[in-house]
Amino acid sequence: MYFFFSRKQPKTFAFDHCFFSLEPTLPHFASQKTVFECLGRDILDNAFDGYNACIFAYGQTGSGKSYTMMGAPGLDEGGIIPRLCNALFERIAVQQSPPALTYKVEVSYMEIYNERVHDLLDPETTRRSLRVREHAVLGPYVDGLSQLAVTSFQVRR
């Protein structure tokens, strides 16, 4: 993809995927499922292969970061996070039957807003912010962030 800026050299950008999701009736419309199949599946495969995985959503306000990651209520409107959690536990169930491996899944959920860190899984601490510290071996971490063991994915409102 090329962009031309006045009196400057053309800039070239490379994309692995470019999604269009403005008009569902058009043939190249990318649904939440399509986006998950293109981005989420690989993340899961890499995680099961033992790699750390990260999805970084970046864009201007209102551009659809939350919609892409969490989605909206309604059939097939779920975003990458609920689909990834579902796929994770489905895959664990398959691999544990018969039980040859055991898996331990833990979850943390935090928000960084205006340079303040909040634990979204601990309602008591959502009003105060947590400190980011540096561990000599493990590197940066959020002091006091909840890390909860989970055995299934269920959306709770």
- Reduced 3-state DSSP string for 58-110: CCCCCCCHHHHHCECCCCCCECHHHHHHHHHHHHHHHHCCCCCCCCCEEECCE
The least distance separating ligand ATP from the CB of residue 80, rounded to whole angstroms, comes to: 12
The answer to whether 65 is a known ligand-binding residue is yes
108 contributes a contact to ligand ATP by CB under 6 A = no
The binding track of 11-50 with respect to ligand ATP, each residue x by CB under 6 A or -, is: ----------x-----------------------------
The least distance separating ligand ATP from the CB of residue 45, rounded to whole angstroms, comes to: 24
Which class for 9: exposed (0-12), middle (13-18), buried (19 or more C-beta within 10 A)?
exposed
Q: Of 29, 37, 66, 144, which lies in the binding site for ligand ATP, with binding defined by CB under 6 A? A: 66
Using CA atoms, how far apart are residues 132 and 117, in angstroms rounded to an integer? 8
74 contributes a contact to ligand ATP by CB under 6 A = no
Using CA atoms, how far apart are residues 39 and 54, in angstroms rounded to an integer? 11
9 contributes a contact to ligand ATP by CB under 6 A = no
- By Cβ distance, which residue is nearest to ligand ATP? 64
Task: Look at the alpha carbons of 136, 139, 142, 146 in this order and tell me if their dihedral is positive or negative.
Answer: negative
Question: What residues are designated binding site for ATP?
Answer: 59-66
Where along the sequence are the contacts to ligand ATP (CB under 6 A)?
21, 59, 61-67, 72
